[in-house]
Structure 1
Amino acid sequence: MKLVDLQGYAAPGDSKTHIRIPFELDEGCDKLHLRLQYAPKMLDNREKALQLLKDSYDLYILPEHREYAIFNADRYLPLKNLITLSLDDAQGYRGACHRQDELQELFVSEQEASPGLMAGELVPGHWSVTLSLHCIVTDTCDYRLQIWTAEDDEI
């Protein structure tokens, strides 16, 4: 049964923000599936990427180290968007999948779960997913979150 199918987009101004998506889980669920995908992953414009890096140096690097950082900026390219997922059940925290992958196919059940998520009883009630938009470096970044329950593991 499909519980969530949310599509949206983020822009650089959305960096360092969170999107909370509540959903209801009914009794009798044996396995919960989550799929997060977003694109693009990388910023392909080298000049824009270098400018973003230089701008960040004013915030995060001591003045005496900035020249070295600018000289070595290429080692940080390509810049990448990063959106991660955390899961809460009706009783609290069920885990976080803070990975670099732009496609994450996850699950949780009473006996097992994807790395980062905690296996255990799938308690009926209010659940939520939090999308953490750590860094959006492209002009826009489309995302889609799907959550479903099904015995055949397919949406």
Structure 2
Amino acid sequence: MNALKLLDTQGRVTPEDSRTHIRIPFELNTSCSRLNFRFEYAPKVLEDREQAVKLLQDSYEIYILPEQREQANARAERHLPLKNLITLSLDDAQGYRGACHRHDPLQELFVSQHEASPGLMAGEVAAGSWNVTLSLHCIVTDICDYRLQIWTPEEADA
């Protein structure tokens, strides 16, 4: 059987996109036995140490009490390297089908009637409107590119 590609989309995000979501709708025209997902993003790590320390110090100004900032700055190294974090959630026409809140910059996932990747729920893979939501928890590099591919085994005529 050949694979039937449902979606292949790419995008680019920046630090200004942190703490936002990207909803990616797709249609499943007929029920099928399995949906496959491949999600990847890069770069994962902010390599510029000076820039990373500056980001940490800026965040301390917002999130750390003034009397604790000096101690936080002294321990900033323990939080390096800083990393981008984008996670994936899935909904079908009936609602929530799970979330894969992993740190992996490459994830190969699936859902089927009786099995699913950890974080996703097995169940009928029914025709209808589906959505993938990318949660951009933190983007620390100047740019971060992502790609989402969705496919299913082609169903043979009975």
TM-score past 0.5 threshold:
yes
Runs of 4+ residues deviating >4 angstroms: none
Contact residue 31 and residue 126 of structure 2 kept, 8 A: no
Summarize deviations over 1:105-134 as a string: whole Å, max 9, x none: 000000000000000011210000000111
Matched, 1:42 2:45: yes
Distance 2:41 2:153 in 1: 23
Distance 1:122 1:21 in 2: 17
Give structure 1 stretches of 5+ with no counterpart. Answer: none
Please report the TM-score for the alignment, with normalisation by the length of structure 2. Answer: 0.94
Partner of 2:64: 61
Determine helix, strand or coil for the equivalent of 2:131: strand
Report sequence identity in percent.
71
Give structure 2 stretches of 5+ with no counterpart. Answer: none
Partner of 2:135: 132
Q: 1:32 is matched by which residue type in structure 2? A: L
The number of equivalent residue pairs is 151
Please report the TM-score for the alignment, with normalisation by the length of structure 1. Answer: 0.95
Of residues 82, 88, 103, the one that matches 2:106 is 103
Determine helix, strand or coil for the equivalent of 1:6: strand
Of residues 78, 82, 85, the one that matches 2:88 is 85
Determine helix, strand or coil for the equivalent of 2:60: helix
Shift in Å at residue 63 of structure 1?
1.1
Determine helix, strand or coil for the equivalent of 1:34: strand
Distance 1:97 1:149 in 2: 19
